[in-house]
């Protein structure tokens, strides 16, 4: 279950115009065919305990700043996957995320291939809105890379 960092291949102008940060990770998945919702659900529907612990710590630290702790309550035609509102969905691509006063973010889950072998790519886009957003992004970036890799491994498990 090798997760590779790849060059983001999404139109940022469409999904998050003005994004200052983008990264993407990909994993090969063998087995029954997946669509983007199934891949996103496997990825973001549940988290390993250590990720849940990090998220709980993050939520406690950002609460005094009034930052959102989830997308619950956001209008989302596609419902929620984990804590993320689904903003757009096709069989091959699911886009989730939300906007906050410090930063806006999207996660784009793409599924390419057919039959017993597919590639699942998770692309993260972030647009910071102020100094708090830039500081927040700088602090979470190293953790983000570890978390996304771990969550993608769940798609192939």
Residue 75: pLDDT over 80? no
> Stretch 7-21: mean pLDDT, rounded?
94
The tens digit of pLDDT for each residue in 22-70 reads 999 999 999 888 999 999 999 988 877 766 776 667 667 666 666 655 5
Strand residues in 21-92 grouped as ranges (E): 21-30, 80-81, 84-89
**Tokens representing residue 113 in the block:** 């291939």
- Can you give the pLDDT at residue 152? 95
pTM, rounded to two decimals: 0.87
- Can you give the pLDDT at residue 79? 84
Could you tell me if 10 and 125 are in contact, meaning their C-beta atoms sit under 8 angstroms apart?
yes
What are the domain boundaries of the chain? 3-59+75-156
Q: At what angle do helices 36-44 and 131-156 cross, to 10 degrees?
A: 110
Give the C-alpha separation, 18 to 103, whole Å. 11
C-alpha closest to that of 68 among 146, 136, 149, 157: 136
Could you tell me if 62 and 69 are in contact, meaning their C-beta atoms sit under 8 angstroms apart?
yes
Top-tier CATH class for 3-59+75-156: alpha beta
Half-sphere exposure of 145 (CA within 13 A, CB side): 9
The tens digit of pLDDT for each residue in 91-146 reads 999 999 989 888 999 999 999 987 788 999 999 999 999 998 999 899 889 889 99
């Amino acid at each position: 279950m090798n997760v590779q960092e790849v060059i983001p291949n999404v139109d940022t102008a469409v999904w998050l115009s003005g994004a200052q940060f983008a990264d993407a990770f990909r994993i090969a998945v063998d087995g029954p065919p997946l669509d983007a919702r199934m891949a996103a659900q496997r990825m973001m529907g549940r988290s390993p305990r250590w990720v849940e612990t990090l998220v709980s710590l993050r939520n406690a630290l950002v609460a005094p700043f009034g930052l959102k702790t989830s997308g619950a309550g956001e209008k989302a035609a596609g419902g929620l996957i984990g804590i993320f509102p689904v903003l757009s969905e096709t069989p091959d691509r699911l886009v989730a995320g939300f906007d906050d006063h410090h930063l806006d973010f999207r996660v784009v889950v793409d599924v390419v291939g057919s039959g017993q072998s597919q590639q699942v790519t998770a692309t993260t886009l972030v647009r910071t809105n102020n100094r708090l957003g830039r500081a927040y992004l700088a602090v979470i970036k190293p953790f983000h890379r570890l978390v996304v890799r771990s969550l993608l491994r769940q798609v192939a498990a």
